[in-house]
Amino acid sequence: MSTLSQRISEQLGAEIVAGKHAPGAKLDEEALAARFKVSRSPVRDALRQLAATHLVESQPRRGFSVALIDPAGLQDMFEAASELEALCARLCALRAGATERKNIERIHAQALAAAKRNDHEGYARLNEDFHRAIYSGARNRTLEAATLALRQRLAPFRSRVFFHIDNRIRSSSREHDAVTAAILKGNAAGAEDAMRGHTASAAMNALEYFRRRVYKDGRMYTKLGYDTGARSTKPKKRAP
């Protein structure tokens, strides 16, 4: 995807997550092209990318429309992502070489500096770099590809806006501290548990965003089947 298409995808994804486009609303390619002052080609690419995240639906001869966000399905994806990322952290602690560990440590230090500056944009970028470095350090291409694919599907729900909620940037950096320390020490179980706790916190943060900021009307909760007590997103303990 081109940088232009990515920018359009990120913007529209953030708007859909924020509830600015109602479920079922048609996303007209021509109107969007005029809005973003581009041709229809990058708009179409952006909409296809959003369709892969299930924020947008595509139907033959009817074009693209805003999908109904399913909170239960979203929670399922976060739960699966949490387990994949925990496994990546575990393998990274066991397999990463000195250069890979140093890179993780470097990215984490930069992210800490961004957090201290309250640089939410910078922290969000470094957060992605941090997780990708851990996937790579796991040295399992199949696992890396699967984890990255699911992370990309969840990308709109990991919007930079979430780092503004309840000072999430501070708690996120503390959680990264624990993950980094375990990986540098080669503590596989510690890295796995720390990453699972971190991703569970990120999931709760995103789901809470919907409860507090998007679907404020109680009737909308019912319509979407949203249930804040449906399942626990707390990290699971591995069996002894």
Matching CATH number, 71-224, of 1.10.3720.10, 2.40.40.20, 1.20.120.530, 3.40.190.10: 1.20.120.530
Q: Which residue has the tokens 């984890």?
A: 147
Boundaries of every domain in the chain: 3-66, 71-224
- CA–CA gap between residue 124 and residue 138 (Å, rounded): 22
State residue 154's pLDDT score.
86
State residue 70's pLDDT score.
76
- CA–CA gap between residue 80 and residue 185 (Å, rounded): 26
- CA–CA gap between residue 21 and residue 24 (Å, rounded): 9
Helices (H), 37-138: 40-52, 71-95, 98-116, 120-137
Mean pLDDT of all residues belonging to the chain: 84
State residue 55's pLDDT score.
87
State residue 74's pLDDT score.
83
pTM > 0.85? no
State residue 146's pLDDT score.
96
- Thinking of the domain 3-66, which architecture would CATH place it in? Orthogonal Bundle (1.10)
Q: What is the pLDDT along the chain (240 residues), one digit of tens a residue?
A: 568 898 999 889 888 877 788 888 999 999 999 999 999 999 999 999 898 888 899 988 889 999 887 778 888 999 999 999 999 999 999 999 999 999 999 999 999 999 999 898 899 899 999 999 999 999 999 999 999 999 988 887 776 555 555 578 888 999 999 999 999 999 999 999 999 999 998 888 777 766 665 555 443 333 333 333 444 445 445 544
State residue 233's pLDDT score.
46
